[in-house]
Amino acid sequence: MKENSNKLLFGIFIGVILGGIFGAFFGPQAVTLKIFGDLFLNALKMLVVPLVFVSLVVGVTNIGNISQFGKEGAWTIFFYMLTTGIAVITGMILVNIIQPGVGMDLSTALTPDKVSGTDYSFIKVLEGIIPANLFKSMVEMDILPIIFFALFFGICLSQLEAKGKVVVDFFNQANEVILKMVGYILLTAPVGVFALVAARLGAAGGAHFFTNELPRVGKYSLTVILGLGIHGAITLPILLWAVSGRNPFTYIKNVLEALLTAFSTASSSATLPVTMDAVEVKNKISPKISGFVLPLGATINMDGTALYEAVAAMFIAQAYGIHLSASAQVIIFLTATLAAIGAAGIPQAGLVTMVIVLKSVGLPLEGIGMLLAVDWFLDRCRTTVNVFGDTVVAAMVDKRIDGKASFWQWLRS
């Protein structure tokens, strides 16, 4: 069993690498592979809505009582905020040191269609949390309202106590069925990720992308990637080890499939089934924790996106020669966090919510145009860190709720 899962992981890893090579050298031909990537992506997306619904109900009904649930919710939000805050600060320190925007060529600065006319506001996101029509939210794969409904449903179901047993059992078993489906879909992942990576790189011009497009905003991309690297490879593993006591290497190895899927799909939501499998099945985190932390995290906990939003906004300011005072930088810190919370777990959602950050300190929206050509690539990198952040928070909450030693006990020991 273990050997099979190692083989699969190796297959997915090779799929990403070969996809990169194929996309780089056979650009236009690689695009024709898109269909295989889309089939894999559709299979994952197909599971997202039932999985979110079922796993949340399982999570809430397993928790036992409302006060325990409140405790879990509070720790989850605390760790989301902590990790996102550290990510933004990392990005802001780097962008202040590297100054990637200074001396930029502004000729490519045009407000992209995607962003122009977006009347994006955080209030709208809040408004959407309570679904007026649950089925509409399901059809649109709008996760936050589904989370709201499932939590409400789960809490009421647990109040039925013994009378609700049949329904609780149904959801527990449905959860197992869906995780089994994830296991089967994952068998096709090596081909799926190969096709996704190859076709996307092919569409971006193959190797040309790395030699021409990326260098144009090379310093900016480097700042984002360096920040993501520090957060993903240093900060999060240290937090994971310090708070949960788990070995970061084993933990990362067990979530690697999810990270590679996140990189290939650029979508935290589409990756969710794989993330659940990695955290619940492979890292043995209790379903009552993962069922709540991961679906919520896929939509609101985005460390990578928050870091990128802050770096991008400061980069635009530097390129336009706009000085940002300390208080403006504090506003960027806050709005980058909000923009990441508001971004959906879908490709390039962060690019759209960046409007919040830019508007908050009066930066020109055209600046986004400079970032467009490389955004699809950075999106994959930040999505990988977003998903990793969710898995780390799941382990930390698991320890705080079920574990014995606390962070403070650990610090004092």
Contact positions vs ligand ASP (CB under 6 A): 266-268, 302, 305, 343, 345-350, 379, 382-383, 386
Task: In whole angstroms, give the CA distance from residue 249 to residue 251.
Answer: 5
Q: Return the number of the residue (62 or 384) whose C-beta is nearest ligand ASP.
A: 384
Cβ neighbours, 10 Å, residue 98: 18
Q: Return the number of the residue (137 or 268) whose C-beta is nearest ligand ASP.
A: 268
Q: How far is the CB of 282 from ligand ASP (least distance, A)?
A: 21
Q: Which of 322, 316, 335, 340 is nearest to 389 (CA)?
A: 340
Q: Return the number of the residue (104 or 143) whose C-beta is nearest ligand ASP.
A: 143
Q: How far is the CB of 344 from ligand ASP (least distance, A)?
A: 7
Q: Is the dihedral of CA 212, 13, 387, 181 positive or negative?
A: positive
Ramachandran area for residue 141 (φ above 0: left; ψ -120 to 50: alpha; else beta): left
Q: How far is the CB of 387 from ligand ASP (least distance, A)?
A: 7
Q: What is the dihedral of CA 203, 206, 210, 216, to 10 degrees?
A: -50
Q: How far is the CB of 377 from ligand ASP (least distance, A)?
A: 12
Q: How far is the CB of 372 from ligand ASP (least distance, A)?
A: 13
Q: How far is the CB of 211 from ligand ASP (least distance, A)?
A: 25
Q: Return the number of the residue (379 or 398) whose C-beta is nearest ligand ASP.
A: 379
Contact present, 272 and 345 (Cβ < 8 Å): yes
Listed in sequence order, the residues at least 6 apart from 177 whose beta carbon sits closer than 8 Å to its beta carbon are none
Position with the least CB separation from ligand ASP = 350
Q: Return the number of the residue (24 or 298) whose C-beta is nearest ligand ASP.
A: 298
Cβ neighbours, 10 Å, residue 253: 15
Q: Return the number of the residue (55 or 305) whose C-beta is nearest ligand ASP.
A: 305
Q: Return the number of the residue (62 or 290) whose C-beta is nearest ligand ASP.
A: 290
Q: Return the number of the residue (202 or 389) whose C-beta is nearest ligand ASP.
A: 389
Q: How far is the CB of 306 from ligand ASP (least distance, A)?
A: 9
Q: Is the dihedral of CA 406, 410, 412, 413 positive or negative?
A: positive
Q: Which of 320, 314, 305 is nearest to 364 (CA)?
A: 320
Task: In whole angstroms, give the CA distance from residue 31 to residue 329.
Answer: 41
Q: Which of 179, 177, 125, 134 is nearest to 152 (CA)?
A: 134
**Distances in whole angstroms, Cα of residue 387 to Cα of each of 55, 259, 318, 384:** 17, 7, 30, 5
Q: How far is the CB of 266 from ligand ASP (least distance, A)?
A: 5
